Structure 1
């Protein structure tokens, strides 16, 4: 339904004045244009649906737009999206507009995505062709400057985090009221803080197994088939005291089984916070894949009598009608505007 509403907006706004031609038939677009903003919203929704781990991204700012016409009614948009992380798991399939953006108290994560998306206004087709995202957390010292008592991100393989996962998942299986046992899929986020004594927070995904919930943690429990196996997203905490006692809490959302497989269109890479050493290794095979021209050699699967669009190399220039987001008053906005990684915007698509 949301796609149809945005497509209706695209129908109303499609006839816009021509912009300067950049290269290869591309035209520069305006980041303030309602048509480009609608395309950016659709692109981000498709990126979130394509992802299988992590948290839903929300749009922070549209910082570059180019377009290429395909046929009489289609358009390929080449977009650079500044994004921020929300608290929704990608397994929830929630639209990014319905998700709460992660605030300073839980260390915000920000980054940038480049996306090539084809939209046909007449045939109501929205097709994401490729994307590439890089994200990183706000530095801990910046968070603690405004929130000294807030927890800090720590390694997901920390022994205390592993203990928190184990104890909280066991608590869920024991007290959750579901018939089958769930097992860990992946740890998504881990943090630790101090309030009278140490506490640990962990967010992780789980999946349903063939075992009953009364089964022991050491019992072999194969996963249920995709048509029957529920997945879930859990938030667990472990509170320790000087005496050595612990208290565990857990809260999980369970999602309906899903079997549909999607061809992966891109990837998301997580970098350390600014100030830490970052090494980006670029393999030439990957580089060629990201930059190659995708030719329209096959029929469009959704539009009879039409071939798919050619996806050109991503533009190496910023549209004259686009500008970086203002720093604003929020911590993530200030850090975003200062981060040299996202000023060198061409690098994150090619590396």
Structure 2
């Protein structure tokens, strides 16, 4: 089944693909292949934040019913990689955050089925939290930056200023919009004091810069993933509300996306879509940490 979800800037194949030979026996020896397949599905369905990598299979159960369908239940531990979900690289090729860089772990319960050579991820539910916790990190590394709320007003103001400067100072053909605040950290610098460090992801919009209005991007629709260019950017914001330098690198899923066409479809951002609200509402564990991008339950109701 193919699903094209324009409302979240992503068109993805749903959770059914041909199973590899390693996943055809319906026993615990298949746990690694099943878990790897499930993690690929989770990353393919990511709508925000970073990709995750499998680090541990904590438990696995297999049962074949009277119709020959193999039902698989997995409990796995994932660690967040440094690759944003839009980055055109497999999660297996991505680096992990070191503990002192503010890592994130997810414990996921996953249900799969395997029938006639086709495997399907039917549902998954994950608990996503910083690892190590902020309290532990403060003890083992008092000088390390601490992850901070992604919707912090100071961070959002800095992100908006950074996007405005990015559009104003660049010579790119199109305006770019803030796709999301990927990461926020709080640090302290001698003689300067508190500083907010941000990682932002900007996405190309369909609007051209030809009219010279530097804030036009605010009302511009993003290009869809097969067309858009993205920028992964880092900046900081000090206690005097001064925005620092913006350091960015660009990438695209399409090596030659080309300029916008008059008929080109547009995509809405995940943070502006009903999916974002549904994801937040359906996180079924207490006090979800606001500093991480949680893995949304699947399927969302």
User: What is the TM-score when the length of structure 2 is the normalising length?
Assistant: 0.68
The answer to whether the Cα contact below 8 Å between 1:49 and 1:93 also exists between their aligned partners in 2 is no
Match of 2:200 in 1: 204
Match of 2:121 in 1: 128
The answer to whether the Cα contact below 8 Å between 1:205 and 1:231 also exists between their aligned partners in 2 is no
Identify the match of residue 7 of structure 1 among 20, 39, 44. Answer: 20
Aligned residues: 251
Once residues 252 and 58 of structure 1 are traced to their aligned partners in structure 2, the CA distance between those partners, rounded to angstroms, is 23
Identify the match of residue 250 of structure 1 among 233, 247, 251. Answer: 247
Match of 1:37 in 2: 32
Once residues 56 and 226 of structure 2 are traced to their aligned partners in structure 1, the CA distance between those partners, rounded to angstroms, is 39
Alignment of 1:185-334 (within 5 A): 185-196=179-190, 197=192, 198-213=194-209, 214-217=212-215, 221-224=219-222, 226=224, 229-230=227-228, 232=230, 234-240=232-238, 246-256=243-253, 269=283
Once residues 79 and 130 of structure 1 are traced to their aligned partners in structure 2, the CA distance between those partners, rounded to angstroms, is 11
The answer to whether the Cα contact below 8 Å between 1:209 and 1:221 also exists between their aligned partners in 2 is no
Change (3 A) 1:195 1:6: farther
Secondary structure at the aligned position of 1:91 is classed as: coil
Match of 2:63 in 1: 68
Match of 1:309 in 2: none
Shift of the alpha carbon at 1:62? 0.9
Structure 1, unmatched stretches of 5+, are 17-28, 277-285, 291-351
User: What is the TM-score when the length of structure 1 is the normalising length?
Assistant: 0.59
The answer to whether the Cα contact below 8 Å between 1:155 and 1:190 also exists between their aligned partners in 2 is yes
1:162 aligns with 2:156: yes
Structure with the largest fraction of strand: 2
Once residues 91 and 109 of structure 1 are traced to their aligned partners in structure 2, the CA distance between those partners, rounded to angstroms, is 18
Change (3 A) 1:115 1:15: closer
1:95 aligns with 2:90: yes
Shift of the alpha carbon at 1:173? 2.7
Rg comparison, structure with higher value: 1
Once residues 37 and 203 of structure 2 are traced to their aligned partners in structure 1, the CA distance between those partners, rounded to angstroms, is 29
Question: Could you report, residue by residue, the CA deviation over 1:238-266 in whole angstroms, capped at 9, with x for unpaired residues?
Answer: 25387x7552223244333798x9xx9x9
